[in-house]
Amino acid sequence: MLRAGFNVLLIAVFWVGFAGAALADRGEGETTARHGVVRCGGNNFLRLGGTEIQFASYTLRNFDATQPIAVDRMRFFDANGNVLFDTAGGALPRAENGVLGPANNTLNPNQTAQFNTNDILPFLAQTDRPIQLEIEWSAPGRALGLDVITIRVARQRDPATGAILAERGRHATECRSIPSR
């Protein structure tokens, strides 16, 4: 009888250890969802006579170690609420690093993608900026939400050729995640 009790205790300890390792990708108290919305700010314009470009770089991360996350829709709005770009019914633009694009809208576990506004949007007049990006995402099972940050980038630019030159500055800010349960 004592031996059976010891075996049950031993199995329970191993099971708890295994279950803990299986869920190690989710921190205590982490929110999970099957779909959600992320909102970010940003900009895309030329200044100083076209010698400087300011744009936003969006880094999308799937921190979940087990669930893929699909980017279902990306919409950019100008300062007046007008839609500048919408992927509804179409494909995503090609990500800077090629992870997402027209043929693939899914971030696999632990993958990261990057989009730059200067690859997607026209340069905006002062009355049309700043902008907002809205990303709708989904997952086949409960997942850690899509993590997105905005990096505001300022770079020198050759107005004659349009070549983007040395970086002048950058600043990162978190985007607002609105998970649905």
| 50-96 per-position pLDDT tens digit | 889 999 999 999 999 999 999 999 999 999 999 999 999 789 999 99
Domain-embedded: residue 116: yes
**Residue type present at position 114:** Q
Any domain includes 2: no
pTM of the model: 0.81
Number of domains comprising the chain: 1
Query: Which residues constitute the domain of residue 126?
Result: 31-180
Cα 17 to Cα 12, 35, 64, 142, distances in angstroms: 9, 29, 20, 22
- Predicted confidence at residue 31, as pLDDT, reads 77
Q: Is residue 24 part of a domain?
A: no
Beta-carbon neighbour count of residue 120 at 10 Å?
Answer: 20
Is residue 42 included in any domain, yes or no?
yes
Tell me, yes or no, whether 11 lies in a domain.
no
d(CA 103, CA 73): 14
Secondary structure of 100-146 in the HEC alphabet?
CECCECEECCCCEEEEEHHHCCCCCCHHHCCEEEEEEEEEEEEEECC
29 or 78: which carries more pLDDT confidence?
A: 78
Residue range 116-136: mean pLDDT, rounded: 96
Q: Is residue 99 part of a domain?
A: yes
Q: Is 16 among the domain residues?
A: no
4 domain residue, yes or no:
no
